[in-house]
Amino acid sequence: MPAGRPACGQSRLVAIAQASGSRTQALADRAAATLFYLAVVSGAITFTYWWFSGDREHALIRTATVLIIACPHALGLAIPLVIAISTSIGAQNGLLVKDRLALESARNLDMVVFDKTGTLTRGSPVVSGVAAAPGTTEDDLIARAAAVESTSEHPLAKAIVAEAKRRGVAQLSATNFEALAGRGAKALLEGQSVVVGGPRLLAEAKITVPPEVEKLTTAWAADGKTVLYTVAQDRLLGAFAMEDEIRPESSEAISELHRLGIRVAMITGDSKTVAASVARRIGIDEVAAELLPADKAVAVEKFQTGGKKVAMVGDGVNDAPALATANMGMAIGAGTDVAIESAGIVLVRNDPRDVVGAIELSRATYRKMIQNLVWATAYNLIAIPVAGGLFVGIGVDLPMSVGAIAMSLSTIIVAANAQLLRGLKLHVRSYEYKMLGRPISSAHPYDAFLFPLDLPSSPPMTGSAEEI
């Protein structure tokens, strides 16, 4: 769960989920109520028949046996035991079930819709490519860019500094830092003016990009990555490709959902080119891009066209309406409180593969519920006529003591069958991934080109919410 959310809060959510009902529980309750009236009627019929047949001793014994046999213990335990065990299993595997109906509906899903930023990606930019111009090494390029950005709090700047630390390059000191509105940042380094910024810098300074660098930057832009350049005294040192890093587990999550026969969609406010690049790399089936926050709920509604059962997975305030609109909502544990409150299931470990675990748990839980209901119902349908003496004519009579044992055994069998659910192995992992993202400040000069909208048109697979 997010930092600051106490363990007692998690325990409270588990307790609420275990106490909550489900449609199958409601069915079991109706069956148990019906069994009560069936027991009373069967007992009355048994007593009346054998009493007026002259066998008054057996009339009392067989009536008591019918009432013992018909005790609805098995039906009463059939669902609550499975609910308690499945909720416990979910919590042990990083799935906090807030709403039993949400878990129950997961077995019928046709599509899972992921929000991109912070769900399929880490939510913070990283350096995914470096291109040094002739006469400059990559280490020198990174060291100079990191020196300029060392005092900045912007995600793009922090990504360059983090890359410098990761590579262990020399740490240089820069002075006279200056933010260039809409273009980048500038500082004085070893007596030279060094600037880090977007394509507008090159256009204004009329700097020519070497073919070796231009080939890479063109490919990066086509992939939807943000390109930053580093210039020293009107000479290009090189370029960086920046992107919101895709979680390494996202691709596996998509593959597992496809294995379960579920289509996968992605919604995002990013450009179509960025969305198409992410979708292509991890195997997304459908994409809705360039959406405003209010459009996400509309996109989910359109995915539901034709009666499709759709789940929404998100983490932010902007995702809350979509989470509430979907047939079931799942919130990333590191997400906002608003998103978590709008969801029926919370993925504590921030791992999209846990969506697969939730669906598998839902299907296994439903199978156990049905098995227990079938056993408890079949037991009563067979045992009550035998206890009432219906087959005495062919030598089959059920003593009261055997009836009591049979009733106890039926309860034990239901309880034991529910315990078998503990052997379920979910497609989830035991480690956690830490969210690194933070809100992007609109006051920083990089924000003008953080997610450029003038990129090439997207492939046919992508489209806006209106085109879904």
Which residues belong to the active site?
Answer: 115
249/465 Cα distance (integer angstroms): 26
- β-partners of residue 267 are 115, 288
Pick left, alpha or beta for residue 452 (phi over 0 → left; psi -120 to 50 → alpha; otherwise beta): beta
Q: For residues 385, 387, 392 and 394, what is the CA-based torsion angle, rounded to 10 degrees?
A: 60
Contact between residue 382 and residue 46 where contact means Cβ atoms under 8 Å apart: no
DSSP string, 83-114: HHHHHHHHHHTTEEES-HHHHHHGGG-SEEEE
Quick count: other Cβ atoms within 10 Å of Cβ 293? 14
| Interstrand relation of 111-115 and 310-314 (parallel, antiparallel or unpaired) | parallel
Q: Where would I find the beta strands (DSSP E) of 33-152?
A: 95-97, 111-115, 121-132
| Residue 170 φ/ψ region, left for φ over 0, alpha for ψ in the -120 to 50 degree band, beta for the rest | beta
Q: Which two tokens stand for residue 33?
A: 């109520």
Give rounded-to-5 percent helix, strand, coil for the chain: 55, 15, 30
